[in-house]
């Protein structure tokens, strides 16, 4: 019950924070935030404390393969959102995740093959995401805290249920299921309905960079399982997951004066 409550509160808090960031700072900040290990962090903390190292290593390898499905979700969302409603956009994106996730769960590739597939996926995502104004500010009225919580709490319940049930399954099924992009789904739905398809697409395009943080998190968990203490491994993985977002934020900060001079 404590684990379920923690996952619910963490996810609801992140959904509120991401919506706030998109409304005030633009989709780049929101996309980077939504790419953080919202579900994977708490999920693997409990798995690492409850399961043997071999289980953690196998599950994290399956989760790495499952990131191919997350990339399929993001690519589909970015391409469809500007010209479609939130229901069609999310239905198509979740279908893409399920199809790719099923392929990867069935194939169960080893780490080198998984790395090659993910590299191809990131290149495809980069090539097909189009042009977006990542610094755009929405014109719509900002949501009140009550409105955001009313949408974030159901998302938190869904995350807690998914993460909780995955821990009771085998390592392959748990590793793939825990990558279900429920946080992305919740944020995509809220941003699309409140701020429009273009900002939703821009947020998901920015999240493609944030997903690099999940890649770093899972790779660190996989490589440290059984080699260092579980808490130390998860802490190190969380620190690694912050690096892509920090680099992107630094690049944007350094590029800002040049853009201002050009204008």
Locate the domains of the chain by residue range.
2-10+44-132+146-250
pLDDT at 23: 64
pLDDT at 196: 86
Question: Which position has the token pair 């690519």?
Answer: 75
pLDDT at 6: 63
Check: CB of residue 178 under 8 Å from CB of residue 40.
Answer: yes
User: 85 falls in which pLDDT band (50, 70, 90)?
Assistant: very high
> Rounded to whole angstroms, how far apart are CA atoms 73 and 90?
8
Give 94's contacts (C-beta < 8 A, 6+ positions apart).
73, 181, 185
Check: CB of residue 136 under 8 Å from CB of residue 27.
Answer: yes
Other Cβ atoms closer than 10 A to 112: 8
Q: How many helical (H) and strand (E) elements, i.e. helices and strands, does the chain have?
A: 12, 0
> Rounded to whole angstroms, how far apart are CA atoms 171 and 45?
14
Output the pTM of the full model. Answer: 0.76
> Rounded to whole angstroms, how far apart are CA atoms 220 and 89?
32
pLDDT at 100: 92
With 90 as the cut, is the pLDDT of residue 218 above it?
yes
CA end-to-end span of the chain, whole Å?
A: 54
| Least confident range of 81-95, 118-132, 222-236 | 118-132
């Amino acid at each position: 019950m404590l684990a379920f409550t923690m996952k619910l509160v963490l996810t609801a808090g992140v959904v509120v924070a991401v919506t706030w960031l998109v409304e005030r700072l633009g989709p780049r900040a929101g996309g980077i935030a939504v790419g953080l290990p919202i579900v994977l962090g708490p999920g693997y903390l409990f798995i690492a404390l409850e399961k043997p190292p071999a289980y953690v290593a196998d599950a994290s390898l399956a989760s790495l393969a499952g990131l191919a499905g997350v990339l399929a979700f993001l690519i589909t969302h970015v391409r469809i959102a500007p010209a479609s409603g939130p229901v069609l956009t999310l239905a198509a994106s979740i279908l893409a995740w399920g199809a790719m996730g099923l392929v990867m769960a069935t194939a169960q590739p080893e780490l080198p093959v998984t790395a090659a597939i993910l590299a191809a996926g990131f290149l495809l995502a980069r090539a097909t995401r189009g042009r977006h104004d990542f610094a755009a500010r929405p014109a719509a009225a900002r949501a009140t805290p009550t409105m955001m919580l009313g949408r974030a709490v159901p998302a938190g319940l869904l995350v807690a249920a998914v993460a909780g049930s995955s821990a009771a399954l085998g390592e392959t099924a748990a590793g793939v299921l825990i990558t279900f992009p429920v946080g992305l789904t919740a944020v995509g739905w809220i941003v699309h309905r409140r701020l429009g398809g273009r900002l939703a697409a821009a947020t998901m395009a920015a999240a493609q960079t944030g997903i690099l943080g999940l890649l770093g998190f899972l790779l660190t968990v996989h490589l440290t399982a059984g080699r260092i203490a579980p808490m130390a491994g998860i802490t190190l993985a969380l620190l690694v997951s912050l690096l892509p977002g920090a680099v992107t934020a630094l690049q944007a900060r350094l590029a800002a004066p040049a853009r201002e001079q050009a204008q």
